[in-house]
Structure 1
């Protein structure tokens, strides 16, 4: 078997597990584990060997039916399997396989791994996609669902938590305890979870059906988990109503882990999170933190039904797990917090999907996954945000009730089993009486998305005839057109003398025409619900721009985002973009102001020369200073969430992008009174001011930030994160170097390394200083990270747009490419080239574009 064949190996279906009884002894002093398990098996045909997954575990013994001992074991590192050989034939039928092994509690944040907080040790797990095999030998593919009866032997001083509640606790010698947990319903191995550590929990809260809900956090933080606990309670009740199915598991705990690479993980009954996603002190947590907590909690709870109760058969349908949890989780967040206007946040999430899907190196939403490395690369914006956008588009097309009815059919039909995307489409076909399968498959099995071109002409009777054509949208203007065509469910919004109207149409071929009676102007993506780019002819775009304020906020923000995409791809001029932004002077909606900030921030970093920086800063100031003048610096108790978040955005744009001296000076004054305790900052502006003050900050201020970060490390995750993240805003080159080096030291947790380096490499002041430091530490500080952290840093290199840095990074990435990052590397190489091209082109266009904007 070749190495490639081994990596692509799949287990035989002739040996299937029904139940695991696992006993693990966790020694946190030596960071070692020892285990034994009994696996109830169904064997379909006689065999002399059993193959299962095992990665870096030392299997010392195995027996079948308490008698037949294995004659030997062979490990295959590429396929991460162990082959247990037996001296006589194993008959078809039911058997019990007993295995004993030992293994490490690893430093990398995957499998069974180690963690510390406040000098105290923890052990925790993260098994998705394929890392249960690093904790115990198992059939580590999602279709092998089984029941799990777990026991942990651990120090009596530590709190054990797992998927199900504690059945018994038995004291042992040497200060140990044997904790047995209730047996789980059938679940896949990637959903098994357990942890031990000095945790404390919130007081339980109870749902209307009697389910107790707790949030567990490291000692001293439990009081900060109340908001997240209540978000769990409200969300699970909403989801029970939405699905029509009671919560499927015996308990519900949220667990804040001190070290955790992923944001959160949907382990049934034991959802794991980064501490910042479940711990919020009202004195220091910003409004944005509460929104993020609610969004992530709702997403993970949606998985209890979609992913856990009904599980994909194989990783090629991972997208449906994550897309659905994103779509319905955000519906839940929006429904439970109507005062937030959260629909705008949902629409804006499509941007990250568009940015990846516009590349030649993108991938279809649904595609073949052959091995563990490919499965790990599926956790991207296509799987989450594009899939979510396609589901929103389908729901908008067939109706919310029909979509919900299809969800219920799918979940009840496949409960406790495995299913595919085709099973879901069939359920929607049934509920809507439409051919959803045809539309959906046209979107999920093709890479990319369409560019719909619209040309509007007068019909001679006061209306418009709109001619439509479609082709694939590429960010690279040099790519040749493809023959790809989509079934595009269009919803056009248009203005008449008597008000707004909408027209629905399904664009099926290359071109079509739509008549809009009495239309004066047309907007091609009503509600921002369609996942397509659009280009209006110059006349139609100019008329639309003059009516932009009549659009809903979701439509205005997507109008900006769409025009920015066309501009970067060379399909529209920078003058057109700045004219559109200029027409929105006086804009007051938070999300639209944020959409405007995206191109302005990118241009400031990558295209604005030193000679033009003052003029460009003035443009930014003219947009955002009037908003600050209206809001003021002080956060008022009567402020709605909209005002709080808007103030933070405006202060950041004025202090960082526009570099307004008065804003930076006032930010520093206020930060100093916060740090000395004389006047703590309102949490909603604290991060913005910390970044603005840091921009001109010196060594003394830097050391105060580091001190504050360390002081809060064990007691306030939100405040710690605030000052840790602000370190990247210091522009003094010695301090930039200091932060970059800290990323590879104990000062910065491994889980945060990629986040800080991404910000530094994407900054004008950081990229030239930080890039050599990243190269220096690559082999020991990047290549050794778990896949998620490694991919984040590879992606960060795509921001090195100066031509000399682009050339260096391109050579470097090609030399360092590995099988577990091949796709991420290809995408980064393409981004590098396109970013450098766009930076040069837009830098040339900027003088004239600014002159037109200033006129």
Structure 2
């Protein structure tokens, strides 16, 4: 794709779209009338069109296509005059196999058509001005099989039964919006009963037949989130009287924020107490809140061009998670937000990262920006700025920005100016560095003890995961929050803006300190030895968010060769009594990486004992089954510790019990509780044989019609079988009809991260690239290119680097560079850490059992 942009002298005001869909042949015919406003007389009009056959006749005498710019230039029978005008078009097209544009989806005996237009795929369904600033109103009319439901952005205005079992469904006109937000779908859906918000917005969930009764929780989550967002923004829900949440059997992303017709993976809607885990309920609420936040950020106020996609996604992440935390206090969800910094830090510590806001010259480049920097670093920076300004000033700025730019387009500068105005402070100067500079700082802290307390000397430099990279001259205005303990036994807090390369801060009466209070700062930090010693005796006084931040930070320093694996394991050993879910989860992630990448025969026994000693006390406390008085944390911890003991600790008793329980579940003797079903299926597979693998496949297929959660957990567990013949069999099945298109890249990613499966996974990726990966939607192709970034064995890394570089195309240029950099860093870490493990484990005394 080239860098072509449409001229601004022809603008759409309205589209009247008519589609006649043939789901038997997977084709469609269509026509439209586009209301235009022209700044000049136009003998021809250029708009976007891909894989559409635009007909000549009537207004149009000739059509020429430019494949590189994805446009069609229409020569007109009569030039259009300056001012308002209309353009009538007709065309034909195919309902696509790949999950973009107007595409097909199936379940056994069922056919669906659905749309996915972000970032620039409306042009694959109808000729249009497919850039975000060309906002217009849309009416959609669809002719379809009368037995199928039709859903679109707006409510149905009228229906008309036609001959041969067909029906015409016409929808009301939308408010002004960008073309990538148009949505409609046809299929054998069924809906939940409606639920209505306090302001009269009617919410339903639509799912494939037989599953809508599982979506009451998701429906009610939409109601609650809309009510919270209306109060937060001080703007009523902008897009009419209804919100439909639609679970599509095949869907590339997690969800898509089409106003009034939000589309989802079915697993993010079909979740009830009989089928779903606590973690799934959290995901359902969080994703719904994220997508509904887009109704204001992205849909009502839209970025002018894709270099400000973060204005959509960072805000949807930040405000959506704020909403989730506020409405579900029992989850203590800020820990989840702190943990979400980790993938953002990991990507942002690469040389090949990008700024939050960066020029996207074309849509290929824009598609690569839907990543952890845009979503999660952006969220982390916004959270840090809110903490710096205070919630009230931040929310006032938000309201100014949304009210000032509603129904229009805006830029990052517009938002910062609104915050300047609301707070009376120079937010623009503070924020610009954080969104326009790649990377983030490492704040190095050294302490001096004085008669009045502690003086902390601070230095900042860009943090790189690769220790071979030289420091840069970059500095950030870092709004530090330092929490510290006093001689009187209290815990206090001070704030300091480190806006130069170095500085110092006085902590009166302090006996210890922590340089990222609440874990709200998007920066790494490193202690000198004396700071560590002072903190060590009072580590229990840190909040769970802070212990989580500390552990994640220490692990990042070890991977950057600024700390040793021994120092990390000392911290792990010191947290054996840790009870917090999110800290335990981070411990589990660290130990799992070492398990798959750094273990040697000489270190295996001591390592397994360390993992066992870390997690077994929790299993003994919690047991295998949920209790009526369990907290949500306890339900998730049970899930976590079964997985850690079965995989990283290789605990024989845990593996045997998992096999016993999964057989009873598959036999129908007992049904596994949803909170433990996933890890039990995973652990039972480790030593499973071909017969058990066949039963997993059968259960996955059976559940496809009735239980998306069950289908998902058994599909996911197929990667855990370790028998080499079964590993090869599973790898060979990924790009067959056994696995849906939407799940193929996800399973390829998973296989690359598992020691027993990564070689087979990479062989499958290589063999399938030309036939399958190149034809995937942008997200699937990027995930596939990302997968080898987890590889660490030196020979495999060399092969994968050469392969990815040979397959690089403009739409995955950044993704390939990041994967290559990750492989080289990870391989060096695995080799170094495997050498350090012997000594590190020898220093940690393990209890015998």
TM range (shorter): over 0.9
- Which deviates further from its counterpart, 210-219 or 184-193? 210-219
1:373 alignment partner in structure 2: 364
| Alignment: residue pair count | 844
1:89 offset after TM fit, Å? 4.0
**1:192-226 CA-partner distances (Å, limit 9, x unpaired):** 00000011100001111122110000111110111
Deviations 1:717-744 (A, max 9, x none): 0011011101111111111111111111
CA RMSD of aligned residues (A): 1.0
The corresponding residue for 2:131 is 141
The 8 Å contact of residues 49 and 84 in structure 1, kept in 2 or not, is answered as: yes
Contact 1:489–1:506, Cα closer than 8 Å, also in 2: yes
Unaligned runs of 5+ in 2: none
**Partner secondary structure for residue 844 of structure 2:** helix
What's the offset of the Cα at 1:297?
0.3
Distance of 1:686 and 1:286 partners within structure 2? 8
Q: Which runs of 5+ in 1 are unaligned?
A: 1-5, 64-68
* Residue 851 of structure 1: how far off its partner (Å): 1.1
The 5 A counterparts of 1:268-667 are 268-459=259-450, 461-498=451-488, 499-667=490-658
Task: Check the 8 A contact 2:602/2:838 in 1, yes or no.
Answer: no
Work out the CA distance in 2 between the residues paired with 1:644 and 1:282.
Answer: 13
Answer whether contact 1:620 1:653 (CA < 8 A) is retained.
yes
- 1:88 shift after superposition: 5.2
**Deviations 1:561-619 (CA, angstroms, capped at 9, x unpaired):** 00000000001111111111111110000001011112111111111113321211111
Hey, what's the Cα distance between the residues in 2 that align with 1:171 and 1:701? Answer: 50
Match for 2:212 among 200, 217, 222? 222
Correspondent of 2:16 among 21, 26, 35:
21
User: How many Å apart are 1:292 and its aligned residue?
Assistant: 0.4
Aligned to 2:841: 850
The aligned counterpart of 1:7 is 2
Tell me the distance in 1 between the aligned counterparts of 2:529 and 2:280: 41
Deviations 1:339-391 (A, max 9, x none): 11111111110000000000000000000011110111010000000000000
Matched, 1:193 2:188: no
Q: How far has the Cα of 1:87 moved from its partner?
A: 5.2
Report the counterpart of residue 239 of structure 1 in structure 2.
229
Q: Which one of the candidate residues 793, 814, 822 is aligned to 2:813?
A: 822
Matched, 1:813 2:804: yes
Question: In 1, are the aligned partners of 2:14 and 2:138 still within 8 Å (CA)?
Answer: yes
CA deviation after TM superposition for structure 1 residue 62, in Å: 5.9
Contact 1:407/1:427, CA 8 A, preserved across alignment: yes
State whether residues 545 and 583 of structure 1, in contact with CA within 8 Å, keep that contact through their aligned partners in structure 2.
no
Residue aligned with 2:638, SS:
helix
Equivalent residue for 2:708, pick from 700, 717, 720: 717
1:88 and 1:236 mapped to 2: Cα distance?
48
- Give secondary structure in 1 for the equivalent of 2:763: helix
Distance in 1 (CA, whole Å) between partners of 2:76 and 2:773 is: 41
8 Å CA contact retained: 1:377, 1:824: yes
Which residue of structure 2 aligns with residue 91 of structure 1?
A: 81
How far apart in 1 are the matches of 2:536 and 2:303? 45
The 3-state SS of whatever aligns with 2:68 is coil
Is 2:233 the partner of 1:248? no
User: What is the deviation of 1:755?
Assistant: 1.1
Query: In the alignment, which residue of structure 1 is the partner of 2:760?
Result: 769
Secondary structure, in 3 states, of the residue corresponding to 1:638?
coil
Equivalents in 1 of 2:180, 2:89: separation in Å? 19
Q: Cα offset for 1:85?
A: 1.5
Deviation, 1:115, is 0.4
| Correspondence for 1:58 | 53
Give the structure 2 partner of residue 48 of structure 1. 43
The answer to whether the 8 A contact 1:494-1:522 is kept is yes
The answer for the alignment partner of 2:101 in structure 1 is 111
Q: Distance in 1 between matches of 2:175 and 2:729?
A: 50
Which residue is 1:175 aligned to?
Answer: 165
Residue 74 of structure 1 is aligned with which of 58, 64, 82?
Answer: 64
Aligned partners of 2:480 and 2:496 also within 8 Å: yes
Give yes or no for the alignment of 1:34 onto 2:29.
yes
Q: Secondary structure at the match of 1:783?
A: helix
| Corresponding residue number in structure 2 for 1:789 | 780
Q: Distance in 2 between matches of 1:340 and 1:535?
A: 30
Q: Secondary structure at the match of 1:810?
A: helix
1-structure distance, mates of 2:650, 2:87: 67
Aligned to 1:204: 194
Q: Is the 8 A contact 1:801 1:835 kept in 2?
A: yes
Distance 2:609 2:537 in 1: 23
SS in 2 for 1:779: coil
> 2:217·2:272 contact (CA, 8 Å) conserved in 1?
no
Deviation string 1:239-292 (CA, Å, 9 cap, x unpaired) is 111111111112110000000001000000000000000001321211111000
In structure 2, distance between residues paired with 1:776 and 1:508: 51
**d(CA) in 2 for partners of 1:318, 1:769:** 36
1:86 CA drift (Å):
2.7
Match of 1:34, SS?
strand
Give the distance between the partners of 2:521 and 2:149, measured in 1 at CA.
Answer: 48
CA distance in 2, matches of 1:418, 1:770: 43
Output one character per residue of 1:517-556: Cα deviation in whole Å (capped at 9) or x when no partner.
Answer: 1111111100000000001102212332332211000000
* Other structure's SS at 1:708 match: helix
1:701 matched to 2:692 = yes
CA distance in 1, matches of 2:202, 2:46: 40
CA-CA distance at 1:770 after TM superposition:
2.4
State the Cα distance separating 1:166 from its structure 2 match.
0.4
For 2:34 and 2:333, how far apart are their aligned partners in 1? Answer: 47
Q: State the SS of the aligned residue for 2:232.
A: helix
Q: Structure 1: how far apart are the matches of 2:197 and 2:455?
A: 55
1:152 and 2:142 matched = yes
Alignment map for 1:717-756 (pairs within 5 Å): 717-756=708-747
Q: Is the 8 A contact 1:327 1:388 kept in 2?
A: yes
SS in 2 for 1:186: coil
State yes or no: 1:127 paired with 2:122.
Answer: no
Q: Distance in 2 between matches of 1:401 and 1:156?
A: 51
- 1:171 and 1:379 map into 2 onto residues whose CA distance is 42
Give TM-score scaled by structure 1 length: 0.98
Contact 1:22 1:149 in 2 (8 A): yes
SS at match of 2:45: strand
Paired residue for 1:66? none
SS at match of 2:772: helix
Kept in 2, the 8 Å contact 1:61–1:101? The answer is no
Partners of 2:452 and 2:138 lie apart in 1 by 69
- Using the TM superposition, give the Cα deviation of residue 462 of structure 1 relative to its aligned residue in structure 2, in angstroms: 4.6
User: 1:142-172: per-residue Cα shift (whole Å, max 9, x none)?
Assistant: 0000000110011111100000000000111
Whether the 8 Å contact between 2:728 and 2:760 is mirrored in structure 1 is yes
Contact 1:546–1:583 (CA under 8 A) maintained in structure 2: no
Superposed displacement of residue 634, structure 1: 2.0
Over residues 70-112 of structure 1, what are the superposed CA-to-partner deviations in whole Å (9 max), with x where a residue is unaligned?
Answer: 2311101111000112355432111100011001100000000
